[in-house]
Amino acid sequence: MAVINKNYLKLPGNYLFSDIAKKVNMYKEAHPEADIIRLGIGDVTQPIAPAVIEALQAAVYEMGQEKSFRGYAPDLGYDFLRDVIAKEDFAKRGCDITADEIFVSDGAKSDCGNIQEIFGEDNTIAVCDPVYPVYVDSNVMAGRTGTYDESAKRFRDVVYMPCTEANGFAPEVPGENEKAPDLIYLCFPNNPTGAVITKDRLQAWVDYARKHDSVILYDAAYEAYISEENVPHSIYECEGARECAIEFRSFSKTAGFTGLRLGFTVVPKDLTAGGEKLWPLWARRHGTKYNGAPYIIQRAGEAVYTPEGRRQVKEQIAWYMGNAKIILDGLRSAGFEASGGVNAPYIWMKTPKGMGSWEFFDLLLQKANVVGTPGVGFGPGGEHFFRLTAFGNRERTIEAVERIKNL
Ligand code: PLP
């Protein structure tokens, strides 16, 4: 008799975005005239940059010619892309990462979700609270989290690291008396809080991981949004990170590839867990379960690093960050407490008067016809917070902020 992986039954339903859609639809049915503005959107809206489109078109043409046709891509990615990534994203920032330590993939979500497969079942995991849900859910599926405690809204065997106003929404290194987690998920710039971590604080995490033989799984999907100095773009800017960290990157928010799909993961060759090297394991997993990002998409990714491509994607990011500034300044001038929105496309606002984040969602929908994301949807630490995003249309963003101010 076939049986299922019972760990899947432990997953709490991911109802956040369907609950939001349900509430919005009900409101629309009752108020068909309402002009609803969505600032909850987590997807980019600007079209792909012209330099990238040109590269895509050229690659499509190549695929139609006998001489330049390509079949299966190399497992770990084409050299033309891995070389330019190693040079532009790492060497130029003083990070000692070589092209063969870069594994090209179809995005950071798959890699963040799959990486846990190369680690033993007995590892303990630590995540930020609030958190991008993929890290916990993929470990639930693998049976590493224990059962779900409905009242605490937490898995019993997961270490939730509080990210609060007091610590600038970046977790503190655990105390010496606490048991060190084996796998530590960090994400900066952060979704949902929009917070970043300073280089010194990230170095403290690297030192901690080296001391305790833990591995840091560092998600830098929003690296391109960093605008301030002393904010590390890569964990490999920290001394010793090659010995304790894996890093995930994405072209999704950097260059609008959410629909094209491209990302990469860095696994340094010196990195070990329990004395075993991780690079060969991830290479083996990649070779067995994945056949490479498409040639045309990898060529599109390469174009992001050309002078034209770079300039164009920078302009797009600056445009989104213009929206972020409008939201952040508008909220603050109306007396709301808000953070993020400077090095990330997310604005994390405190709900007024200690309102629950769903209660505030309802208020905003009904009184301002604006839709955002309740913070509690990202973990219990998100209660009393609300996420707004900078990916909307400019005029609608301005209009939404005016409506919130007039609440
Ligand atoms: N990591 C974080 C923190 C994200 O917020 C997202 C997307 O929202 C991803 C990874 C997924 O990236 P990709 O589109 O490359 O799969």
Residue-wise pLDDT tens for the chain (407 aa)?
Answer: 999 999 999 998 777 888 899 999 999 999 999 999 999 978 999 999 999 999 999 999 999 999 999 999 998 999 999 999 999 999 999 999 999 999 999 999 999 999 999 999 999 999 999 999 999 999 999 999 999 998 898 999 999 999 999 999 999 999 989 999 999 999 999 999 999 999 999 999 999 999 999 999 999 999 999 999 989 999 999 999 999 999 999 999 999 999 999 999 999 999 999 999 999 999 999 999 999 999 999 999 999 999 999 999 999 999 999 999 999 999 999 999 999 999 999 999 999 988 999 999 999 999 999 999 999 999 999 999 999 999 999 999 999 999 999 98
| Nearest ligand 1 atom, CA 190 | 3
Ligand 1 neighbour 133 (Cβ under 6 A) = no
Contacts (Cβ under 8 Å, ≥6 apart) of 36: 24, 27, 28, 365, 369, 370, 371
Tell how far the Cα of 109 is from the centroid of ligand 1, in angstroms: 5
Whole-number Å distance between alpha carbons of 214 and 197:
19
Tell how far the Cα of 221 is from the centroid of ligand 1, in angstroms: 6
Ligand 1 neighbour 258 (Cβ under 6 A) = yes
Counting ligand 1 atoms within 8 A of each CB, the residue from 43, 250, 297, 320 with the most, and so the one to mutate, is 250
Ligand 1 neighbour 107 (Cβ under 6 A) = yes
In terms of phi and psi (left: phi > 0; alpha: psi -120 to 50; beta: otherwise), the region of 340 is left
| Nearest ligand 1 atom, CA 132 | 3
Q: Which helix (H) or strand (E) holds 162?
A: strand 158-162
Ligand 1 neighbour 247 (Cβ under 6 A) = no
